[in-house]
A = this chain, B = another copy of it.
Amino acid sequence: MAAGNRDGRLGVWLIGAHGAIATSVVHGLAGLVQGLLEPVGIATARGPLARLPLRPFPALVLGGHEVRRGSLAAAAEELVRHRVLSPALVAAAAAEVAALAARVRPGLPDAPAADDPALLPAAVALAQAPGAEQSARLAADLEAFRAAHGLERVVVVNLASTEAWRDEDPAWASRSAFEDALHRPGALPASCVYAHAALAAGFPFVNFTPNRAASIPALRELARARGVPHCGDDGKTGETLLKAALAPMFAARALKVLTWQGYNMLGNRDGEVLADPVRREAKIRHKDAVVRAILGDDDVHTAVQIDFVPSLHDWKTAWDFIHFEGFLGAKMSLQLTWAGSDSALAAPLVLDLVRLADFAAARGEAGEMAHTACYFKAPLAGGSHDFHAQFRALLDYAERHLAPR
C-alpha cells in the first residue's frame, strides 16, 4: 500500500481488551464514527497533524486479548457508575462493543498464580507453555483477526496491567539469546512475548504500559530486521505530562529546582495493581527520570509516590510540589493539582498512536518511532524529555510528510 492510502481497513488489537482504557477506546471510537463525540484529546484530528493522510476512524476494526474474567459490558457499567462514560454513549455503542467482545481471545498473563480465580483458565494454561509456543499462539490470533476481517494491517497495542519489575536479563540482550529463552518456560515477561509475537508477524507494536515489551535490545533488533515500526513506553497522560511541560520553563529561566515531589492517587484496576511495590517500580522510575533529565541536574531531590485510593476509581488526582530557588537565594514554590479521568486521558492517545504506527508502517519505517516521544514517559527514542521539543519533533515529522506523493 502507498503511504496515505486511506481506503483499506485497519485492525487495532488491544492487549487488555476488557480494561478501562480499551473500554473507553471502543466507546469513544463508536462515538466519533457516529458523530456523537468531538475529537477532543486527539491530536491527530487537529492542526497540521490533521492534514496527514492518516487512516480515518471508520476504517478501524477492533479486537484483543484478555486474561481476566469479566466483560466489556461490566467494564462499561463501572465507567458509567463513575461518570466517565455517559449512559447515552453506552447505548449508542452497543453494536460495536458486542462486535469487539466477540473477537476477544484469551491472552497471556505475567507470572500468574495458578489458582487465581480472577483469571481465565485458558490464559493460565497458556502461561504454562514455553515462550515459543505462547508467541505462536498469540501470533495466530492476530493472523486470524486479519484474515477474518480482510484487514490491510493490524496494529497491536499493549494496554495490559503493569508487570512486576525485573532487572536487566542477559536473555534480553540479543535476538539469539532471546530466542533461546523462548524455549525456557517462564524466562520472559509476558509483555516481551506479546511484542515478539507482533513484531515477528510484521505487525506494528505500541507499548502503552511501563512493561519491558519491545524496549529490550533483542526486540528492537527484531523490529529493525523485520522492518516493523514500534513505539513506547508508558503513555504520558497526566502528572508526567505536566512535569515534561513545566520543567523546561524552570530550565529556561535558570531557576534552580531544589525538590520535585509527586504524589499520585489512583483508584481503578491500574491503581490496584500499582499498590504492589514490585509492580509500581517501573512506573516510578519512568515518572522520576523526567525531571532530572530535563533539568540536567542530578542534585535535584525528587520522589514519586503512587497510592491506591479506591474512592477515586478512574479519576486520578496528583499533587506536585516544586520547591525552587530564584535570584538572591529566595526560595519559592509551585504546587499543582491535576484531577482527571485516567481512561479518558489515555484513550485518545491510543487512537493517535495507532494511526501514526499505521502510517509509519505504510511508509516503510522500521524500528523505534522517535517522532512519537511526546506520547510516552520513557520514549524508546527521541532524545529529549522536554514535551515541547518532543511535540515539535512530531510536527516536523508531519511537515515532512504532508507533501503530495
| A interface residues, Cβ below 8 angstroms from B | 24, 27-28, 31, 37-43, 45-47, 83-87, 89, 241-242, 245-246, 248-249, 252-256, 258-259, 261, 263, 265, 301, 303, 305, 307, 309-312, 317, 319, 321, 323, 325-341, 343-345, 347-348, 374, 386-389, 391
Contacts and interface: CB of A to CB of B under 8 A. Distances in A.
A345 B327 contact: yes
Contact of A248 (B28, B333, B388): B388
Contacts of A305: 263, 305, 307
B341 A254 contact: no
B337 A37 contact: no
A248 to B, nearest CB: 6
A307 B303 contact: yes
| Complex A-B, nearest 7 residue pairs according to Cβ-Cβ distance, in ascending order | A332-B340, A258-B311, A330-B344, A388-B388, A41-B327, A245-B249, A327-B348
Contact of A334 (B45, B337, B344): B337
Nearest to A344: B330
Contacts of A374: 252
Nearest to A83: B83
A32 B334 CA distance: 26
B328 A84 contact: yes
A348 B326 contact: yes
Contact of A241 (B37, B47, B249): B249
Contacts of A254: 39-43, 45-47, 348
A401 to B, nearest CB: 18
A73 B337 CA distance: 36
Contact of A261 (B261, B307, B337): B307
Contact of A252 (B43, B309, B323, B343): B43
A287 to B, nearest CB: 15
A384 to B, nearest CB: 12
Given A249-B242, A311-B301, A333-B339, A328 B256 contact: no
Nearest to A39: B254
A37 B317 contact: no
B328 A332 contact: no
B336 A335 contact: yes
A396 to B, nearest CB: 13
A258 B313 CA distance: 12
Contacts of A24: 327-328
A327 B249 contact: no
Contacts of A84: 328, 330
Contacts of A85: 328
22 contacts: A37-B328, A40-B254, A40-B327, A41-B253, A42-B254, A43-B253, A84-B328, A242-B246, A242-B334, A245-B249, A246-B246, A248-B388, A265-B321, A301-B309, A303-B307, A319-B321, A328-B341, A328-B347, A333-B338, A334-B337, A335-B336, A388-B388
A137 to B, nearest CB: 33
A41 B242 contact: no
Contacts of A241: 249, 253
Contact of A337 (B40, B301, B335): B335
Given A40-B254, A301-B310, 20 more contacts: A28-B328, A39-B254, A40-B325, A41-B326, A41-B327, A46-B254, A242-B334, A252-B388, A259-B310, A261-B307, A263-B319, A303-B309, A328-B341, A328-B344, A328-B347, A332-B338, A332-B345, A334-B338, A335-B336, A336-B336
